Amino acid sequence: MSHLLTQEEATARAQELRKTLNRYAFEYYVKDQPSVEDYIYDKLYTELVQIEEQYPELIMSDSPTQRVGGKVIEGFEKAVHDIPLYSLNDVFSKEELIQFDQRVQKTVGHPVSYCCELKIDGLSISLRYENGLFVRGATRGDGSVGENITENLKTVNSIPLRLNEDISVEVRGECYMPKASFVKLNQEREEAGQDVFANPRNAAAGSLRQLDTKVTAQRKLDTFLYTVADFGPMTSKTQYDALNELSEIGFRTNPEKRLCNTVDEVWAFIQEYHDKRAELPYEIDGIVIKVNDFDIQESLGFTVKAPRWAAAYKFPPEEAQTVIEDIEWTI
Ligand SMILES: NC(=O)c1cc2c(=O)c3cc(F)ccc3oc2nc1N
């Protein structure tokens, strides 16, 4: 038990603990490269809980103790998207992909490079930060108005409560449930006689729509961020660089991205990840192809519902992955 601290000592120690614990959590949940053993984290976390119990006024919004949830809210407030969230135009064949590339080249007047990304099968989310602090998280909704699910998103460990820089930005990405968490959750629900979720996407959606944030906190959700809506001081001029910049300021981004200079290279990426799909620890339903250069994206613009500078190549529905426990045959 830490000796009783004076208000001044407690203030300084709490700030130091928040900074250290948030760094450890960033390494563990965002970089997947923990630098300390769990028991070190737990010891410091317990010390912070004790200080916050002694001095509740020291509980800050970026304190890791705020991630455990426990708020039960009546319902979700509306969240207006100043910058709309669009949907993607789907393509289902190499021919349609080539037509997309031809339309782009015809409009732009020359060949363009594409940033290709895995299409994570989760829920679109929009995250707003002011002076580095996470202030609002929302679902896509109809693209203009979503639901404010900030309290639930605070329980998702890979969403930073405070960025590595005190900047104001708005970013978008996918919140998803890893395959392993999905299987475990359904086993628990089956044992409890509850309905099981049909797929990880439904499980993630159900988990984010919980009015009891403690339930969300137990669902082991994760994120990949992929779009900068309000750039603030971010400087990237291409999608590929923006993904790296998102990672630098503290977000989890998907490493399986590729800069492709021709539609044949795009097709190779699509085939590669169609074959790798089953071994990924999360579900994908296709590949997102984006004109890499932001100035060219701007010249292409949007239709009513979707950007002209992107396409989603959709994989055929995955053959039902029957998970057959490898049966030990005792001889
Ligand atoms: N599910 C995804 O993994 C994913 C989804 C989108 C979008 O929905 C999306 C929608 C836009 F209007 C523009 C870019 C986008 O980029 C995206 N990039 C991704 N990687």
Q: What distance in angstroms lies between residue 257's CA and the mean position of ligand 1's atoms?
A: 13
Summarised one tens digit per residue, pLDDT across range 292-328 is: 999 999 999 999 999 999 999 999 876 655 444 444 5
Token readout for 76 is: 């979700």
- Indicate the SS3 state at residue 13: helix
Token readout for 255 is: 């490493």
Q: What b/e string do you get for 193-208 counting C-beta neighbours within 10 Å, with b at 16 or more?
A: eeeebebbbebbbbbb
DSSP summary character for residue 192: T
Beta-bridged to residue 78, according to DSSP, are: 147
pTM of the model: 0.92
Distance CA 195, CA 190 (A): 7
DSSP character string of 146-173: EEB-HHHHTT-TTS-SB-SS---EEEEE
- Indicate the SS3 state at residue 176: strand
Q: What distance in angstroms lies between residue 88's CA and the mean position of ligand 1's atoms?
A: 7
* Per-residue confidence (pLDDT) for residue 162, from 0 to 100: 95
Q: What distance in angstroms lies between residue 225's CA and the mean position of ligand 1's atoms?
A: 9
* Per-residue confidence (pLDDT) for residue 331, from 0 to 100: 44
Q: What distance in angstroms lies between residue 118's CA and the mean position of ligand 1's atoms?
A: 9
Helix orientation angle between 200-208 and 179-191, rounded to the nearest 10 degrees: 80
To test the ligand 1 pocket, which listed residue (172, 177, 227, 285) has its Cβ within 8 A of the most ligand atoms? Answer: 227
What value does the mean pLDDT of the chain take?
Answer: 93
Beta-bridged to residue 139, according to DSSP, are: 125
DSSP summary character for residue 63: -
* Per-residue confidence (pLDDT) for residue 234, from 0 to 100: 85
* Per-residue confidence (pLDDT) for residue 69, from 0 to 100: 81
Beta-bridged to residue 212, according to DSSP, are: 72
Closest C-alpha residue for ligand 1 atom 5: 119
Question: Does this complex have an ipTM over 0.90?
Answer: yes
To test the ligand 1 pocket, which listed residue (83, 88, 89, 290) has its Cβ within 8 A of the most ligand atoms? Answer: 88
Ligand 1 site residues, Cβ closer than 6 angstroms:
86, 88, 117, 119-120, 124, 174, 226-227, 288, 307, 310
Token readout for 210 is: 């919980």
Q: What distance in angstroms lies between residue 304's CA and the mean position of ligand 1's atoms?
A: 16
Distance CA 147, CA 326 (A): 42
To test the ligand 1 pocket, which listed residue (115, 125, 144, 172) has its Cβ within 8 A of the most ligand atoms? Answer: 172
Q: Which of 31, 71, 119, 257 is catalytic?
A: 119
* Per-residue confidence (pLDDT) for residue 321, from 0 to 100: 53
- 94 counts as catalytic: no
Distances (CA, A) of 5 to 18, 44, 109, 277: 17, 15, 68, 53
Summarised one tens digit per residue, pLDDT across range 153-198 is: 999 999 999 999 999 999 999 999 999 999 999 999 999 999 999 9
* 175 neighbors 217 (Cβ within 8 angstroms): no
* Per-residue confidence (pLDDT) for residue 2, from 0 to 100: 53
Closest C-alpha residue for ligand 1 atom 19: 119
Indicate which atom in ligand 1 lies nearest the CA of residue 121: 1
Closest C-alpha residue for ligand 1 atom 20: 119
Q: What distance in angstroms lies between residue 289's CA and the mean position of ligand 1's atoms?
A: 9
* Residues of the chain with confidence (pLDDT) below 50: 322-327, 329-331
